[in-house]
Amino acid sequence: MALLDVRSISKSFGAIRALHDVSFSVDAGEVVGLMGDNGAGKSTMVKLIAGNFPPSEGAIVVDGKACHFHRPIEARAEGIEVVYQELALADNLTAAENVFLGREIKKGFWPLRILDKQSMIRRAGELFDELKSETRPRDLVKKMSGGQRQAVAIARARLSNAKLVLMDEPTAAISVRQVAEVLELIRRLKSSGVSVMLISHRMPDVFTVCDRIVVLRRGSKVADKETAKTSPEQITGLITGAIREA
């Protein structure tokens, strides 16, 4: 059974039809690339799965359970975490503080419930170790490289034992060396049994880590192929519309 099953989803905003009858699935521990040109409906798809708004038609099934998300927190409760493109991190806080933002570990009892900083620092350290990232829990995020920031964002997702991590353009604005770091992080997530949906424009990245590639064009799915059975040329053709369907 698939972890995430997207069934005949359509989404309209007034007269604009962003998605039309899209179906695909993501298995446990699978890395699926979601590709498409600007305006193809990728962001809408991500927002639907992340629970920002419900679909107009169709269903999102997580672990065999039909879900109707209205708010991101509902999707999070089902084990879906999003690593946003703009990296939802607070620069003035440390790595550990960011990992635990909004779900701090506390000790003591009311009215003296205080932060358990040591536990959070230790746990964040463990998460970074698991991700084999050179990120230290006490460092300020402000001073971190793009790769380290990604590690913090991914550690956030790991903390909640997410089943599916959506990554929106994680390699868009970072250096070559950092891209390698991020791809390594994705592999680590996969090897620990977490499914990843990678939304990216960068063909090499998608081909390096993804098991399968789903291509959207003008709101419809035009391809759903195993990476091994396709090529960057074919995917490019599908994205631009030079190849109609595959």
Partner 1 sequence: MKLSAIQATEETHAAISDIVNIREQSALHRVMTSQAFWVAAALFALVVFMTWLEPTFGTADNVTNITRNFAPLAIMSLGMTVVIITGGIDLSVGSVMGLVAIVTGLLLTWHHSWYVAFAAGLLAGLACGAFNGFFVAYIGMPSFVVTLGMLSIARSLAVVLSGNQMLYQFGPDAPIVRAIGQAKWPLHPPTGWAPRWMPEFSSHFWVMVILALILGAIFIFTAWARHLYAIGSNENAARLTGVSVDWIKFQAYVFSALTASIASLLLLGYSGSAINAMGTGYELRVIAGTVIGGANLMGGYGTAFGAVIGSAFLEVIRNALLMAGIDSNWQGAFVGMFIVIAVLLGMQTSGTSLVATIREWIVWKRV
- For residue 114, state whether it binds partner 1 (rule: CB under 8 A): yes
Q: Closer CB to partner 1, residue 50 or residue 213? A: 50
Question: For residue 56, which of 116, 14, 4 has the smallest C-alpha distance?
Answer: 14
Among 44, 94, 133, 200, binds partner 1 (CB under 8 A): 94
- For residue 97, state whether it binds partner 1 (rule: CB under 8 A): yes
Q: How far is the CB of 138 from partner 1 (least distance, A)?
A: 5
Burial category of 217 from C-beta neighbours within 10 Å (exposed 0-12, middle 13-18, buried 19 and up): buried
- For residue 91, state whether it binds partner 1 (rule: CB under 8 A): yes
Among 4, 32, 46, 89, binds partner 1 (CB under 8 A): 89
Q: Closer CB to partner 1, residue 101 or residue 242? A: 101
- For residue 168, state whether it binds partner 1 (rule: CB under 8 A): no
Among 37, 78, 104, 211, binds partner 1 (CB under 8 A): 104
Q: Closer CB to partner 1, residue 8 or residue 175? A: 175
99 touches 92 (CB < 8 A): no
Q: Which stretch binds partner 1 (CB under 8 A): 36-44, 99-107, 193-201, 231-239?
A: 99-107
| Buried b or exposed e, range 123-160, using 16+ CB within 10 angstroms | bbbebbeebebebebeeebeebebbbbbbbbbbbbbbe
- For residue 109, state whether it binds partner 1 (rule: CB under 8 A): no
Question: For residue 40, which of 246, 240, 245, 243 has the smallest C-alpha distance?
Answer: 240
Which residues face 16 on adjacent strands? 13
- For residue 129, state whether it binds partner 1 (rule: CB under 8 A): no
- For residue 88, state whether it binds partner 1 (rule: CB under 8 A): yes
Q: Closer CB to partner 1, residue 26 or residue 152? A: 152
Site map (CB under 8 A) of partner 1, residues 185-214, x = contact: ------------------------------
**For the chain, how big is the Rg over CA atoms in Å?**
19
Q: Closer CB to partner 1, residue 75 or residue 206? A: 75
- For residue 139, state whether it binds partner 1 (rule: CB under 8 A): yes
As a whole number of angstroms, the distance between CA 13 and CA 19 comes to 10
- For residue 74, state whether it binds partner 1 (rule: CB under 8 A): no
Q: Which residues bind partner 1 (CB under 8 A)?
A: 72-73, 76, 82, 84, 86-94, 97, 101-104, 106, 113-115, 134, 136, 138-140, 143, 156
